[in-house]
Amino acid sequence: MGYWDEFDKADKEESSGSGGIIGNVIADTGFKVYASGQSNETTFFPTGGVGGDSRLAAKRKAEAFAQEVNANSKPKWAVQIQVEKEDAFSGGNAATWANNRFFVTDTWTSAFKEVVRPALEKFEMVLPFTGWARIGFKADPYKEAMGESGKTDQDQAGNPRFPLVAYITELFASKAEAMVAVGDGGSGGSAAVMPEFIPEGWEAGDWAGLIPEIKEQKVMDPDVTNVQLIAWVKEQYDVTLTMGQLIKTLK
């Protein structure tokens, strides 16, 4: 395992916070209206992409809503990561949330530029995205740069801390794969070893023998993107991998 493989492993373990959150994720660009007394569901207006027409339509809806509820500022262009409560796990335990969780980061902030966006680019994600993923948390870099005065949040014990930024740390090819990552098939027990992904029509031993070749291709050409590598696997072995399956194969 190379240095950056080890780095990514350590980064995921240290930033996820006891396993972070695993669940079905819906991520999209949109406009966030910050107004007191309003629910998360009603204050984010997704664009369904960054195209001009859909973005403009969402912006107009957000502006009309902002006026209606007397918001203190104009809607902010942002990315929202929503985690559905059903079958979600937090810190290795079944989530007991009453509602879905919503994590919104305005794109102009250092939190987005230094934490959220690099993670999306790392996995070559195109928004909108829906799929099973792990959410980790890092300290807001802007607040962290302020030193002690930036600790405007509190942990569960009431101790001061920097506000946390939610970002995607891992993608899964399916719900079943995500539940294995939780541990013990989703029961919240100790982590289980992830079985090798086996493409349809392949024997486990044959596929396992090709995995080193796929990894070697990545090592030989560090600049190759995951999208290009998926195309290479398709060309060489006539196997179509999803992004999550490729990531698992490269581990």
The residue that leads in pLDDT, 11 or 33, is 33
**Does one domain contain both 208 and 238?**
yes
Average pLDDT for 67-80:
95
Instruction: Show Cβ contacts of residue 3 under 8 Å, excluding neighbours closer than 6 positions.
Output: none
pTM of the model: 0.68
**Are residue 73 and residue 123 in the same domain, yes or no?**
yes
Within-domain flag for 191: no
pLDDT at 221 over 80: no
The span from the first CA to the last CA of the chain, in angstroms, equals 9
User: Looking at residue 18, what is its pLDDT?
Assistant: 41
Q: In the prediction, which pLDDT does 118 show?
A: 95
Q: Which residue has the higher pLDDT, 251 or 139?
A: 139
28 and 121 in a single domain? The answer is yes
Examine the domain organization and report whether 123 and 222 are in the same domain: no
- Which value, to the nearest 10 degrees, does the dihedral of the CA atoms of residues 126, 128, 130, 134 take? 60
Residue 31 bridge partners (DSSP): 45, 77
Residue 4's pLDDT band (cuts 50, 70, 90): low
Query: What is the percent of the chain where pLDDT is above 70?
Result: 85
* Residues of the domain holding 239: 204-250
pLDDT at residue 25, as a whole number: 97
Asked if residue 53 belongs to a domain, the reply is yes
Q: How far apart are CA 235 and CA 88, in angstroms?
A: 36
Please give the tally of structural domains in the chain. 2
Whether residues 57 and 27 fall in one domain: yes
Distance CA 184, CA 195 (A): 12
For residue 116, the model assigns a pLDDT of 96
Give residue-wise pLDDT tens across range 81-129.
999 999 998 877 788 888 999 999 999 999 999 999 999 999 999 999 9
Whether residues 245 and 142 fall in one domain = no
User: What is the distance between the alpha carbons of residues 27 and 39, in angstroms, rounded to a whole number?
Assistant: 18
Average pLDDT, the chain: 84
The closest alpha carbon to 166, from 7, 37, 10, 27, belongs to 27
110 and 141 co-located in one domain: yes
For residue 228, pLDDT over 60 is answered with yes
How far apart, in whole angstroms, are the C-alpha atoms of residue 234 and residue 237? Answer: 6
Partners of 101 in beta bridges = 83
SS3 labels along 51-94: CHHHHHHHHHHHHHHHHHCCCCCCCEEEEEEEECCCCCEECCEE
